[in-house]
Structure 1
């Protein structure tokens, strides 16, 4: 059994950490009593500070179990887990979890607590003052685009599913943890709400730079959100661990190809900005509809198809700066595409 002695120095370091931290899982195995095969077997991975890592795989492959061993909701049978070089198995589990944000699909808000009280749970456990907690609650509600004056004193039942999910994210961020664990947090929402929540979370992550492990069964979500994706098979065996662009361009085997499914080229286009393609001269005869230079090539292609024109003009801050055609989009999938950029990075 792991030593559960509280190491206050490590916890203090975690609490004070700005941005993200590195996480190392070294030969982690989880064997449940009475089961012949391990739930997770000899799993190793290094996550860099500020990375958003997606775990994707079939139901029962151990992705949630692997994630839960990081904050010791589930205790590993063997192996080591280190955050910023410190062994988390030497810490008190309850104290450790107060310094790691955790968001689940079912949200888990306390129904008889107000939204403000839900967000304040961990700061209260950490002994924050009332004034500091109130300030943090207001800050986080604004961060997730919920007006404190409107939502702070409501109860979870008075919010939509998407709003509740935002509160779940705010609660996980309450003590400003350097690590966040997210277990299919948007899976229970409808497609439109899920897409909005994904976009909002990516915007938020661009500002806060947490180290995040994100479990999903949705490969499209993994492509859209992840810095790197771990495609997992039975017992959390890693079939490929790489950037979305590299996985789409160079799947490691047939198993990974089965996750990508049809339309790999279109999925790759969604990862490439218009500025990565060769921009031609502005075309005065092009349709009035334009595409912004910060849009993806998938959006540019959609615009070309919808307008029926041979070219579409590209804008910067509303002004036309050039145009793009089908040939330029196709060329961007070649040597100048995402696989090459991922390798150079």
Structure 2
């Protein structure tokens, strides 16, 4: 009988610990990514430049570029700069915006990319997707998965606390996304990739049930690894399906209609909790609500400064952000009056927790 298998893209190196950044030069050399340090280092605002200065002695002739804004234009501008040089690899250092910009630019010229994350705001750390703004609208663009992923807990600890906590919302939203995927299988016979689903679910369950918080290295490590697993889940199935459902439709709709309302992770967690309520899954609703509350993450539209009328508009608009995706929002096909009624019930249910 022939042995059937599949090839899955995955990083060659994953390192989550304090002091991980100090080993970047060795990882590049030992992994035959760049023996001579001919790399382009992409940094953003915040700690990126600090880390670049720290690792410069071990990277030889590395050249540092600054990327800001998180737009497609910025990524294309960076790609043009990369084309004019000869680089063994691109090292993206910073938060999700900087890493996504570096991923996109590196992919344009098939240059291996190393992700050095200084915050844990979302699962883009190791994903084959770059979220970039184009003409005022944030879109998702397919990219090559990073060849290595480093998360130094020393720099995460000094990063923006609210951003890091947002990653918790993004991870536990996998629970809702997977429920939407199962719904699509039942209603539309959409195939579900079991390996991708397992990777997405394991990280979410670990974060959901961990008693620690962002002051606990054990919890932060679990969160970082869960975000990486989410990225790998996307790589396994070739789409964001295992980590993105109605929760992310709500997040994208909020970004489109009311920009800068809250972070990616904060909105994903809020969207996931609302979608879980719509499914009538009381056990999961209680788990997720308690987790979000424990980590001081938003649970209601009011928590992010949205009134009921605005959130109704968001939920009504949300399915248009992913026309090919079937979630609880498409399944229910709620009109504005129905959304308003369910939202009032939802607010009551959250208040009762």
TM-score above 0.5, yes or no: no
Using CA pairs under 8 Å that are at least 6 residues apart, name the structure with larger relative contact order, 1 or 2. 1
Q: Given the two structures, how large is their TM-score scaled by the length of structure 2?
A: 0.31
Greater strand proportion: 1
TM-score, scaled relative to structure 1: 0.31
Q: Which structure has the highest helix share of the two?
A: 2
Which structure would you say has the larger Rg?
1
